[in-house]
Amino acid sequence: MSKRAVGLQAVGIGKTFGHFTALEDITLDIAAGEFLTLLGPSGSGKTTFLMVLAGFQAASTGRLFSDGTDITRSRAEDRSFGMVFQGYALFPHKSVAQNIAFPLQVRGVAREDIARRVDAIIARVGLVGHANKRPAQLSGGQQQRVALARALVFEPPVLLLDEPFSALDKHLRGRMQDEVARLHGEFGTTFVFVTHDQSEALSLSSRIAIFNHGRLLQVGAPRDIYERPSSRFVAEFLGEINLLPVGGIGHCARGTSGLFEEVRLTAPRHENLNGSAVLAVRPEHMSVSPEPPAEGNGVPARLAGTTYLGSAMRLAFATRSGTPLTVTLPSEAAGRILAHGPDVWVTWSFENGFLLPEQS
């Protein structure tokens, strides 16, 4: 880890624009050197939170600390976090090299040092041969690299990135993601990354913070929040999921169970539930069989449609009451299952389901 990386602590941060609440009571610890992603739908307050972290906007309430020092009132130019803006915000009248040199000039770095460091970082982000071009002469991916180089060249303690890849095509986005992950490893700076793309968040981050309507819903490692979301919103936002309404909740030694269409389904223990709830299972955790399962969970269902996805197949089912279920299976396995006819059992093991409160 770079010795200059710092951790940030947001305590009860709120931001209002007139009567509109853009952020509400955000409390979040960002560890030094981690790769934290702010994930949420458009308009959920991600950019606003990033602007508050950078110091471009003042929080209406709450405090912000940098390694324990209160920086709530310090100015953006004094915080000097690196920032990659949505749309890059390069200086259109400066060349690539001049863009990257700017933060060093501001800091009064000696001329020879500037030249050396600019050359070095141009090589590191793969822009050799483009140093004298203007931003308008570069492709989207190259402009992105300039923005990254300009934000990293002065080795900021924190790098803030606002949807840096949203304008790139899918192939390029994948390459830039790898690049950002590599740069994070090399520089060791704390990265706070904003995206509304859940697969990007899952693949890049050491932790993800989920935003919705200006609130922080859940923070955790990608696997934790994917497999143990605390609310329906988080569960649905992170990827396709099957939701089965269950009633007659009961707790037993193994876990918590509920009734769905007269079948008792069991999931790991969830203490705070009573009456009815929702049982959630990811499509890739389900399987299909002609018989009821000997152990684990299963519900009878009828095939309603199939979608070929290349390596996998998505099977759409409807239960007796019409609840839709989606199962993804490797294409080969799907073919074998379909030979049994349309009426089958959709099954999953006990630990792959989780219960969520009905309202959330």
Ligand X SMILES: Nc1ncnc2c1ncn2[C@@H]1O[C@H](COP(=O)(O)OP(=O)(O)O)[C@@H](O)[C@H]1O
Which residue sits closest to ligand X, CB atoms considered?
A: 47
Q: Name the pairing type of β-strands 69-70 and 61-66.
A: antiparallel
Q: Indicate the residue among 65 and 85 with the shorter CB distance to Mg ion.
A: 85
**CA–CA separation, 219 and 205 (whole Å):** 11
Q: Give Rg (Cα) of the chain.
A: 25
Neighbours of 291 (CB within 10 A): 10
**Residue 172-211 contact track with another protein, rule CB under 8 A, x = bound:** ----------------------------------------
Q: According to the binding rule CB under 6 A, does residue 42 interact with ligand X?
A: yes
54 is in the binding site of which of Mg ion, another protein, ligand X, none (Cβ under 5 to 8 A by kind)? another protein
**CA–CA separation, 60 and 39 (whole Å):** 22
**CA–CA separation, 343 and 165 (whole Å):** 44
Q: Can you state the angle between helices 140-152 and 170-187, rounded to 10 degrees?
A: 10
Least separation in angstroms between residue 129's CB and another protein is: 20
Q: Indicate the residue among 47 and 144 with the shorter CB distance to Mg ion.
A: 47
Q: Indicate the residue among 22 and 327 with the shorter CB distance to ligand X.
A: 22
Answer yes or no: are the C-beta atoms of 10 and 33 closer than 8 Å. Answer: no
Least separation in angstroms between residue 42's CB and Mg ion is: 7
Q: Indicate the residue among 46 and 184 with the shorter CB distance to ligand X.
A: 46
Q: Which stretch binds another protein (CB under 8 A): 54-62, 183-191, 225-233, 342-350?
A: 54-62
Q: Indicate the residue among 85 and 350 with the shorter CB distance to another protein.
A: 85
- The tokens of 228 are what? 């143990």
H or E stretch covering 171: helix 170-187
Q: According to the binding rule CB under 8 A, does residue 90 interact with another protein?
A: yes
Least separation in angstroms between residue 236's CB and another protein is: 32
- What is the Cβ-side half-sphere exposure of residue 76, based on CA atoms within 13 angstroms? 13
Q: According to the binding rule CB under 8 A, does residue 133 interact with another protein?
A: no
CA angle 262, 266, 267 (to 5 degrees): 145
Q: Indicate the residue among 99 and 297 with the shorter CB distance to another protein.
A: 99
Answer yes or no: are the C-beta atoms of 193 and 34 closer than 8 Å. Answer: no
Interface of this chain with ligand X, residues 1 to 40, rule: CB under 6 A: 17, 20, 22, 40
**CA–CA separation, 284 and 198 (whole Å):** 16
C-alpha closest to that of 211 among 346, 29, 49, 9: 49
Interface of this chain with Mg ion, residues 38 to 97, rule: CB under 5 A: 47
Least separation in angstroms between residue 10's CB and another protein is: 18
Going across the sheet that includes 69-70, the strands are 20-30, 8-17, 61-66, 69-70
Contact with another protein (CB under 8 A): which of 92, 129, 185, 310? Answer: 92
31 is in the binding site of which of another protein, ligand X, Mg ion, none (Cβ under 5 to 8 A by kind)? none
**CA–CA separation, 169 and 182 (whole Å):** 20
First-to-last alpha carbon distance for the chain, in angstroms, is 38
Least separation in angstroms between residue 77's CB and another protein is: 5
**CA–CA separation, 295 and 265 (whole Å):** 11
Q: Give the count of residues interacting with another protein (CB under 8 A).
A: 28
Q: According to the binding rule CB under 6 A, does residue 283 interact with ligand X?
A: no
Q: Indicate the residue among 166 and 306 with the shorter CB distance to Mg ion.
A: 166
Q: Give residues in contact with Mg ion (CB under 5 A).
A: 47
Q: Give residues in contact with ligand X (CB under 6 A).
A: 17, 20, 22, 40, 42-48
Q: Give residues in contact with another protein (CB under 8 A).
A: 54-56, 76-78, 80-83, 85-87, 89-94, 102-103, 106-107, 134-136, 150, 154
